[in-house]
Structure 1
Amino acid sequence: MTELTRLNSADAAVVFETATTDNGRLIGFATLNAPKSLNALNFEMISLLEPQLQQWGKDDNIALVVLKGAGEKAFCAGGDVVSLHKAMSEGKPSSLVEEFFTQEYQLDYLIHCYNKPILVWGNGIVMGGGLGLMAGASHRVVTETSRIAMPEQTIGLYPDVGGSYFLHKMPAHVGLFLGLTSASINCEDAKLVSLADHFINADKYPELVEALLNTKWGKTASLNHDKLSNLLIELDNNSSRMPKGNLKANLSLIQKLGDFDTLQQQVDYILNLTTDDKWLQRAQKSLAHGCPLSCALVSEQLKHSKGKNLADCFKMELGMSVRAGEVGEFQEGVRALLIDKDGTPQWQFKTLANVPSEVVESFFANRFGEQHPLEPYFSQLNLQG
């Protein structure tokens, strides 16, 4: 494979490289470099990625950017919420927790608004914060190993990182179902729900890179978007058939969620489905074991975000995420799943009926006044765009 020019240390949290194409343009490669943690997105990764993407965006020599994860197991298995657990335990959610989510959402928004093509190689596990990076990319590639999920309800959170925006892009009620159940989806499912654009076999990555380098990239982003799309379509057509997903076969069952008036009825419907489908059974088990407050938040999140633009969705989510650091369920969920790993979270609110409406409403209160922490960054990006 063509040699890449490394721009930083090989053991950096994100490794940056460039490669020269046939007509002298450059391609930027950013690799999340924490394979032992399945490339979980942490503070250091965010602090490296954001300025490098900004720099590449302004560099006329860079035609496009490729974002991938180290190793074969995962692109990115979520945000590094373990690092937030200590802050929550010490009662400092308004400092470290707010800083983490602010920087993460700024990075996600930058990718959504990026002025050049970004190709995300969504191989292996793509969850939570990893999906936040992938969802906004202009060209999202999945492979036969892709396993995508928004598993936040298992840790007392909710589908953030822009979920308030992209869950609405899915077929009716599928976003709610995935948020309530943390159900894992594969490559075919991801294309069905508009989280992926192309399917390419995992072993074709070297072939993809060679094709990128052999392309005569243009001088405008729009031309390069088209060239990249055409290249990926050709590789997609030359790949083997996608593994069969689970959503299409169960779509009619999922869309019956719209027949019910209350969240409790929707949850009861999912839990009481009689099925031999192993995927649905796992979804039922996850819903039964998950955080009741998270279920309430998913439902209200989708109601509050309907019709909102991307920036307003991220602004709403920042308030929700900081509030999650205060209430306690997020802290307990991380403890049970990722710290002590006992798998038995002791939720404050044992059932959906036990969740006070005022607690849910507190997640949507305006805690930032007129000076929202994300506004200056978003405004600057929009001016640049």
Structure 2
Amino acid sequence: MTQTTELLCEVRGQVGFITLNRPKALNALSLGMVRGLLAQLLAWRDDPAVLAVAIRGSHKEGVFGHFCAGGDIRFLHQTVQAGSPQIEDFFTEEYTLNHVIFTYPKPYIAFMDGVVMGGGMGISQGASLRIVTEKSKLAMPEALIGLFPDVGGGYFLARCPGRVGEWLGLAGESLAASEAIAFGWADAYLPAAEQAGLWEALATQSFADSAAVQAFAASRTQPQGPEAVRDTSAIDRVFALPTVQAIIDTLEADTSSASSAWAQHTAAALRKRSPLLLHVILEQIRRARSMTMAEDLRMERDLVRNCFFLRPGQSETMEGIRALAIDKDQTPRWNPARIEEVTEDAWRAFFVSPWPAHSHPLVALKD
């Protein structure tokens, strides 16, 4: 058994088991966790004795409970302030990890209980079986901190049905089990109380091959969750509009239709996000519709570099993290302050790569 304070890895029977073990931070990913996960998955990928991998989170009273709340944003803020190169290491290595999971040749089974957000989505969306429970809460809320939905978010948001991806990426709304399955973020439902039984069964059963592990795990789950799934017709209509301005104008003008309560709630949420990053996010998701996972991650690596360093002293991401997690005043000072003030040149600059193609830090990724 390989064990650190933040990551527990062991092989039991024919399956490799990973437990994220940073419960006080809702298992937010540190650089050490990213490196440990990547090293372990590469080792098990080439180990014929390991037929599959299962991954879960932990909470303060034991295992399961929460999967992963994202990346460690306080660490990111500190490294930028200190001028540490670890900010670059973190994203290059995290996105490499995401790609390894999306292209993993063996079953990778994610127990997505509790909070699953941001970086937690990045280490679960590529799973061969994504299991949610009645306690699951899935989201890509990066717009709240002046960031974009990274870790492959462009790729998997762009592949949600209709225009659900634009809505989830811009508004940062969370999904429970039924909608996570319906909108393509999960594959199956399992009551939370049954997770431990399936986890133990994977360790004690005998399997003929990797496909048998996948089939067994899937057979213990249900195809739908317990909650209702919303009608997405209003989402599809509004979030298909060509610009952020058109989306917000339409939402704010909707005061009398059956969807007006949703429209006003959504408009208010968008008004709290970074206006500049809303434009970046909309373009990111729409570009990603025609990209492979590797191409999307390279684009996102460009974007994240530009989020922190394109405008020295004016990083929307640093300001968003400050307001949410450092000073906790919940009043980010966005620049520009309003959606109406964002110019096309300003958001398009984020998509200019800082590197020539042959020297890109993710040049080696292949789908």
> Would you call these one fold, judging by a TM-score over 0.5?
yes
Q: Deviations over 1:43-74 (max 9, x none)?
A: 01001110111001111111111111112442
- Find 2:57's aligned residue among 34, 46, 69: 69
Evaluate the alpha carbon distance shift between residue 54 and residue 348 of structure 1 in structure 2; reply closer, same or farther with a 3 A threshold: same
Shift of 1:276: 8.1
- Is the partner of 2:10 in helix, strand or coil? strand
| Structure 2 residue 178 is the aligned partner of structure 1 residue 188 | yes
- Find 2:219's aligned residue among 210, 234, 241: 234
Evaluate the alpha carbon distance shift between residue 276 and residue 302 of structure 1 in structure 2; reply closer, same or farther with a 3 A threshold: closer
Question: 1:84 — aligned with what?
Answer: 76
Q: Provide the rounded CA distance (Å) in 2 between the counterparts of 1:182 and 1:89.
A: 27
- Is the partner of 2:290 in helix, strand or coil? coil
Question: 2:348 — aligned with what?
Answer: 361
CA contact (8 A) 1:97 1:325 kept: no
Shift of 1:260: 3.0
Evaluate the alpha carbon distance shift between residue 103 and residue 361 of structure 1 in structure 2; reply closer, same or farther with a 3 A threshold: same
**Which AA in structure 1 matches 2:8?**
V
Q: Provide the rounded CA distance (Å) in 2 between the counterparts of 1:33 and 1:333.
A: 27
Q: Deviations over 1:262-306 (max 9, x none)?
A: 321112223444468987765443222111112101111123223
- Find 2:8's aligned residue among 10, 15, 23: 15
Evaluate the alpha carbon distance shift between residue 129 and residue 259 of structure 1 in structure 2; reply closer, same or farther with a 3 A threshold: closer
Gaps of 5+ in 1: 1-5, 21-25
Shift of 1:100: 1.1
Evaluate the alpha carbon distance shift between residue 258 and residue 185 of structure 1 in structure 2; reply closer, same or farther with a 3 A threshold: closer
Shift of 1:362: 1.4
Give me the TM-score of the superposition, normalised by structure 1. Answer: 0.87
Question: 1:325 — aligned with what?
Answer: 308
Which of 200-209 and 328-337 deviates more?
200-209
- Is the partner of 1:250 in helix, strand or coil? coil
- Find 2:299's aligned residue among 289, 293, 316: 316
Q: Provide the rounded CA distance (Å) in 1 between the counterparts of 2:351 and 2:233.
A: 31
CA contact (8 A) 2:158 2:286 kept: no
**Which AA in structure 2 matches 1:7?**
T
Question: 2:162 — aligned with what?
Answer: 172
- Is the partner of 1:375 in helix, strand or coil? coil
CA contact (8 A) 1:101 1:318 kept: yes
- Find 1:154's aligned residue among 144, 152, 159: 144
Q: Provide the rounded CA distance (Å) in 2 between the counterparts of 1:30 and 1:258.
A: 38
**What is the aligned residue count?**
356
CA contact (8 A) 1:271 1:287 kept: no
CA contact (8 A) 1:89 1:331 kept: no
Q: Provide the rounded CA distance (Å) in 2 between the counterparts of 1:56 and 1:259.
A: 42
Evaluate the alpha carbon distance shift between residue 260 and residue 53 of structure 1 in structure 2; reply closer, same or farther with a 3 A threshold: closer
Q: Provide the rounded CA distance (Å) in 2 between the counterparts of 1:273 and 1:243.
A: 31
Shift of 1:13: 1.2
Q: Provide the rounded CA distance (Å) in 2 between the counterparts of 1:244 and 1:37.
A: 28
Q: Provide the rounded CA distance (Å) in 1 between the counterparts of 2:251 and 2:138.
A: 20
CA contact (8 A) 2:163 2:240 kept: no
Q: Provide the rounded CA distance (Å) in 2 between the counterparts of 1:271 and 1:348.
A: 22
**Which AA in structure 2 matches 1:303?**
R
**Which AA in structure 1 matches 2:197?**
E
Q: Provide the rounded CA distance (Å) in 2 between the counterparts of 1:202 and 1:277.
A: 35
Which of 262-271 and 272-281 deviates more?
272-281
Q: Deviations over 1:343-373 (max 9, x none)?
A: 0101111111212322211111121102111
CA contact (8 A) 1:119 1:139 kept: yes
Shift of 1:164: 1.4
Evaluate the alpha carbon distance shift between residue 109 and residue 317 of structure 1 in structure 2; reply closer, same or farther with a 3 A threshold: same
Question: 1:255 — aligned with what?
Answer: 236
**Which AA in structure 1 matches 2:318?**
Q
Q: Provide the rounded CA distance (Å) in 2 between the counterparts of 1:66 and 1:293.
A: 38
| Structure 2 residue 258 is the aligned partner of structure 1 residue 270 | no
Question: 1:55 — aligned with what?
Answer: 43
Q: Provide the rounded CA distance (Å) in 2 between the counterparts of 1:298 and 1:139.
A: 27
Q: Provide the rounded CA distance (Å) in 2 between the counterparts of 1:330 and 1:50.
A: 26
Gaps of 5+ in 2: none
Q: Provide the rounded CA distance (Å) in 1 between the counterparts of 2:264 and 2:7.
A: 37
| Structure 2 residue 112 is the aligned partner of structure 1 residue 122 | yes
| Structure 2 residue 29 is the aligned partner of structure 1 residue 41 | yes
Q: Provide the rounded CA distance (Å) in 1 between the counterparts of 2:260 and 2:238.
A: 18
Q: Provide the rounded CA distance (Å) in 1 between the counterparts of 2:260 and 2:213.
A: 38
Evaluate the alpha carbon distance shift between residue 143 and residue 271 of structure 1 in structure 2; reply closer, same or farther with a 3 A threshold: farther
Percent identity, please.
34
| Structure 2 residue 24 is the aligned partner of structure 1 residue 30 | no
- Is the partner of 1:253 in helix, strand or coil? helix
Evaluate the alpha carbon distance shift between residue 284 and residue 203 of structure 1 in structure 2; reply closer, same or farther with a 3 A threshold: farther
Evaluate the alpha carbon distance shift between residue 357 and residue 173 of structure 1 in structure 2; reply closer, same or farther with a 3 A threshold: same
- Is the partner of 1:307 in helix, strand or coil? coil
Evaluate the alpha carbon distance shift between residue 209 and residue 319 of structure 1 in structure 2; reply closer, same or farther with a 3 A threshold: same
- Find 2:329's aligned residue among 342, 345, 349: 342
Q: Deviations over 1:235-254 (max 9, x none)?
A: 224x9x72314xx4230110
Question: 1:293 — aligned with what?
Answer: 276
| Structure 2 residue 196 is the aligned partner of structure 1 residue 203 | no
